[in-house]
A and B are shown apart, each in its own frame.
Chain A
């Protein structure tokens, strides 16, 4: 057993996702605490060049599985390569991203190697036996649990935007090891036909570091541009309350809340949102919350860091302009 700490990197279209740096940051911290190595597993096609940059962020070794069949993510492709590698190398702890990708294949890997998996974790620690303990939200964040993982290896997936990303240091170099990959015909049982981009802006809601959301205070779908303009200036993702989605102003893909997306950006700006318990469950763990609402008694003001009591129709254009000025200066 190598006893090392592993991170499964996430990339799409040969670009490492931000969460990968967060996994490396946390993985490095754990590796230093147990006195083991941090090793990263990278899968894809024509991605070997990314391995060097992963080294700059603190990995001691990068396993690279570079193969035609791994160009697009598939459950079976990823599960097979990672399972075989874990069986051969026997890491002590494996960290995944709690993204739609990580949550789609990590349980397969866990089942195949007989490991326990704690998902969507927001804090990790090691007990006196250097065994992993994981804190994770349940009931959409209305409560938190600490979980113990009773197997070896131990596995956890980490929620994006929560852990501190690793810093780049070009003097740090990682050893790179190529992983042989082979698939029998039909072994990957699903085929990706198409990836249709769109909906919530360039960045996905759950990975965005700023989210601007609109609620019923906007009075109609024709006014949502006020939220979208502000989001564009800030490079933010656009969200919506359940009321707005139920009314058909926005697709469900935009919904933030217990039955929508759970988001944890650095900054969440709620525009004309009252702050129903359903909505708070989806954004209550954001680092900073700004609320703009006409009603001084709106529940959202009880959870915000900064609030503006005012009309969204008046405030949003001015705020957008002020941000534009500030960002033009810096």
Chain B
């Protein structure tokens, strides 16, 4: 199987967000970057399919020079090849243009299945996998917590995590699958594999190599534009109740009914 995984490099979950000087992005100072949490499940699932059915895993990411580090991590996990998509024109791409850039790279490759994390934990849109499926003319299964693939029948069955239930859907490959937490247990790269990963192919493609005009991508091509970023108002410290358990419980119930009016 030819398996493609789209990943994103994002700030670590422990990052304390500060607004940068331009008032539109976070201040990157001191931020530690990681492979997007949900993408780990995408990479793991891809490697497991390869181990089971044979084939090749190609990891793709759009982003500046530092993204190579994230791609190397995926190679160390067991992916075979990596492609970094970058061009100064890609800066400030919205989810649609990001998917457009990814789709141009994928169209140059053979593929049977494409994995993405269900969302990137920076912009949190969940939209890129769907735009990507649309641009490639493929069906999709988003928020997948369990996946069965039959490469001979070219079929998949995906268990999707929806509100209060799991939805089981069936479709034909190729398809775009977006991965939810607990789809699998992502492996940690071992030291020898980290060393080996340094020798694996990591290609760079820019706008011209992807056949993209700079007006189609980045801020110019985007349909949604960030105007400003702010921090949420801090929550003020509330009433702390101490003392006899029965008394404090009664007081809490009273406050919730009479003051907050939520019960």
Listed in ascending order, the chain A residues whose CB lies under 8 Å from chain B are: 73-76, 99-101, 103-108, 110-112, 114-120, 133, 137-151, 189-207, 210, 234, 237, 251-253, 255, 258-260, 262, 266-267, 277-278, 281, 284-285, 287-290, 296, 301-310, 314-315, 318-319, 322-323, 326-327
Give every chain B residue within 8 A of A304 (Cβ-Cβ).
Answer: 235, 237-238
Q: List 22 A-B contacts (CB under 8 A).
A: A74-B169, A103-B127, A107-B96, A112-B134, A117-B224, A143-B230, A150-B223, A190-B139, A191-B170, A194-B167, A195-B166, A198-B165, A205-B163, A258-B121, A259-B38, A267-B262, A278-B14, A290-B256, A304-B235, A306-B241, A318-B246, A319-B253
B13 touches A258 (CB 8 A): yes
A147 touches B226 (CB 8 A): yes
Closest to A319 in B: B249
Give every chain B residue within 8 A of A112 (Cβ-Cβ).
Answer: 134
B237 touches A107 (CB 8 A): no
Give every chain A residue within 8 A of B180 (Cβ-Cβ).
Answer: 252
Given A111-B134, A207-B163, A305 contacting B168 (CB threshold 8 A): no
Rounded to whole Å, the gap between the CB of B234 and the closest CB of chain A is 8
B165 touches A195 (CB 8 A): yes
B256 touches A190 (CB 8 A): no
Query: Which of the candidate stretches B75-83, B140-148, B193-201 sits at the interface with the other chain?
Result: B140-148
A138 touches B124 (CB 8 A): yes
Q: Is the interface of B mostly helix, strand, loop or mixed?
A: mixed
Considering residues B14, B157, B163, which has the most beta carbons from chain A within 10 angstroms of its beta carbon? B163
Total CB contacts across the A-B interface at under 8 A: 272
Not counting A116-B223, A119-B125, A145-B228, a sample of 20 additional A-B residue pairs whose C-beta atoms are within 8 angstroms of each other reads A106-B127, A114-B223, A116-B222, A137-B232, A139-B17, A142-B15, A142-B16, A145-B230, A192-B167, A196-B166, A197-B165, A199-B166, A203-B164, A204-B163, A252-B180, A259-B181, A287-B260, A304-B237, A306-B239, A306-B255
Interface size class of B (residues with CB under 8 A): 35 or more
Residue of A76, A206, A322 near B253 (CB, 8 A) is: A322
